[in-house]
């Protein structure tokens, strides 16, 4: 049996928008977001370098295997398995070379500036500030990773990311409010009063 009392979605929506303003769409937050995004970009770059090193080694091993098969054929050893194996190796070699080219194209060091983050956020901040719910619903999933309603509190996890982050893992910001404070803070909200 669930004894979780219902929370009006308007309270949660208002809380999410208030926290977006407070923790994402303000100058103090932008500095932290830039630092977090750039840290994730550095991690991504390091991971790409490690992948590239492993692929270069694999490419060398593939070349050695192909040369060994060619040497065996030149020495008079011919088996159908050699032909199959050499085709498999050539296909894998092409895959590895393609991946290395992709990693090389991502190799340049990229940093996100405060101005970049401001530009991203400015597209949406007026909708949040004015509580334009229909417009907010169009982009909110880009910033809110999840909303978790617990028995005693509500937790919101925001995720701010850029297309440069291939993993999609941006900067996570958490916010919690207990149910009582949620009700007290948002039951008298101007925006909710106009919705009801």
Give the end of a domain, one of 105, 121, 142: 105
Task: Point out the residues of the chain with pLDDT beneath 50.
Answer: 1-2, 195-196
Q: DSSP secondary structure string, 37-58?
A: HHHHHHHHHHHHHHHHHHHHHH
The domain boundary residue, chosen from 105, 120, 138: 105
Residue 77 placed within a domain: yes
Per-residue confidence (pLDDT) for residue 2, from 0 to 100: 45
Predicted pLDDT of residue 27: 83
Burial of residue 179 (CB within 10 Å: 0-12, 13-18, 19+) is middle
How many other CB atoms are there within 10 angstroms of residue 82's CB atom? 15
Are 66 and 116 within one domain? no
pLDDT score recorded for residue 135: 85
d(CA 150, CA 113): 36
Residues 170 and 151 in one domain: yes
Express the helix, strand and coil content of the chain in percent, nearest 5 each: 65, 10, 20
Q: What is the pLDDT of residue 95?
A: 96
Torsion-angle region of 158 (φ positive above 0: left; ψ -120 to 50: alpha; else: beta) = beta
In terms of residue numbers, what domain contains 183? 9-40+111-195
Nearest to 125 by CA among 135, 134, 115: 135
DSSP letters of 115-133?
Answer: HHHHHHHHHHHHHHHHT-H
User: Which of 79, 105, 131 corresponds to the end of one domain?
Assistant: 105
**Residue 165: what pLDDT?**
59
Same domain, 33 and 115: yes
pTM of the model: 0.65
- Determine the angle formed by the axes of helices 179-186 and 9-23, rounding to 10 degrees: 90
Beta strand 144-149 pairing with 171-178: unpaired
Instruction: Based on the fold, state whether residues 99 and 123 are members of the same structural domain.
Output: no
Same domain, 98 and 125: no
pLDDT of 48 reads: 87
């Amino acid at each position: 049996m669930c004894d979780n009392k219902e929370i009006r979605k308007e309270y949660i929506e208002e809380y999410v928008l208030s926290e977006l303003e407070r923790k994402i769409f303000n100058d103090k937050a932008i500095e932290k977001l830039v630092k977090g995004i750039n840290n994730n970009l550095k991690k991504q770059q390091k991971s790409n370098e490690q992948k590239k090193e492993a692929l270069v080694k694999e490419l060398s091993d593939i070349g050695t295997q192909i040369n060994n098969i060619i040497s065996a054929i030149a020495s008079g050893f011919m088996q159908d398995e050699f032909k199959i194996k050499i085709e498999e190796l050539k296909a894998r070699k092409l895959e590895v070379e393609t991946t290395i080219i992709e990693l090389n194209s991502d190799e340049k060091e990229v940093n996100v500036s405060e101005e970049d983050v401001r530009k991203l956020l400015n597209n949406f901040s007026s909708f949040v500030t004015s509580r334009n719910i229909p417009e907010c619903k169009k982009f909110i999933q880009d910033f809110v990773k999840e909303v978790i309603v617990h028995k005693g509190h509500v937790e919101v996890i925001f995720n701010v990311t850029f297309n440069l982050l291939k993993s999609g893992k941006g900067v996570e910001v958490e916010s919690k409010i207990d149910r009582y404070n949620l009700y007290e803070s948002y039951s008298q909200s101007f925006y909710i009063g106009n919705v009801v």
